[in-house]
Amino acid sequence: MKYLRLLIIITFFIGTLNISAQANLSGIISYESTINQKKVDDYLKKRDSLVKQKSGEFMVQSLDAIYLNSKPTLSKIIFNNGEGLFKVETDLNLDNNDIAQRAARISAGGSREYYYNTLEGTYLIKECEAVGECFIYPNPNLEWELTQESKQINGYEAFKATRSDGKVTAWYAPKLPLNFGPKGEYGLPGLILELEIGRTIFKVTKIELNPKRKVKVKAPTNGKVVTYEEYEKIIEKAKRSVFGNN
């Protein structure tokens, strides 16, 4: 019991220090995302069996484009005094037939804006593509499981954390006291340098701390503010209107 109490106190103390440190930092974090090689390997194992299915050749052509021919997608977090904003940079001025880049961009976050305000504990998502109208809703609380597994990333010691039964893996750097990362991920005691989520893997490419030019972060505006539950109902209703109740 004494050990548990001490662990809680230490965790709270570190969290308080991180929040204080974030208030004195500004900068730009650049990421590059690609298809996770594990997912590519899984697809290649199934590829031959997919070809044999009805309309399999057409499906495999599309999947080949997504898994084998997509290019890296670029994204950034800008932050200042505990506020941050993540957006995908790669433009969508693509040919309509460029399935690979469209899929890669959507997997990286699409046109969504992910807003972080660590001082106020506010985390928001702005979505404009799903149903043709812009919505702003809270980013749900993320429950992480921390491990002692570590590796070096861009000169920083990064530790592994997982959530959603291991479906999401993050590598964070305690020496960078920013508790956010790409695609709305947050809540770890350090900046997320690498993230595996779905079929996408994000890797940090550049870290600019306290640059000479002022970094301005604006909370999302020009959208209908709803709760997360309300947004889910809106999306579910939109799906039923397209696909029916089956």
pLDDT 10s digits, 56-88: 676 777 777 777 777 889 999 999 999 999 999
Total domains in the chain come to 1
Q: Is residue 44 part of a domain?
A: yes
Q: What is the mean pLDDT of residues 174-199?
A: 95
Q: Is residue 135 part of a domain?
A: yes
pTM score = 0.82
Q: Is residue 235 part of a domain?
A: yes
Q: Is residue 26 part of a domain?
A: yes
Q: pLDDT (tens digit, 9 = 90+) per residue, 97-132?
A: 577 777 888 889 988 999 999 999 999 999 998 788
- Nearest 5°: the CA angle 196, 199, 201 is 35
Q: Is residue 245 part of a domain?
A: no
- pLDDT score at 227: 96
Q: Is residue 43 part of a domain?
A: yes
Instruction: Identify which of 44, 103, 47 has the alpha carbon closest to the alpha carbon of residue 70.
Output: 103
Q: What is the mean pLDDT of residues 9-14?
A: 45
CB 28 within 8 A of CB 77: yes
107 lies in which domain range? 2-240
11 has pLDDT over 70: no
Q: Is residue 246 part of a domain?
A: no
**Which residue carries 């999306």 as its tokens?**
235
Q: Is residue 67 part of a domain?
A: yes
Least confident range of 1-10, 118-127, 152-161, 206-215? 1-10
Q: What is the mean pLDDT of residues 224-235?
A: 94
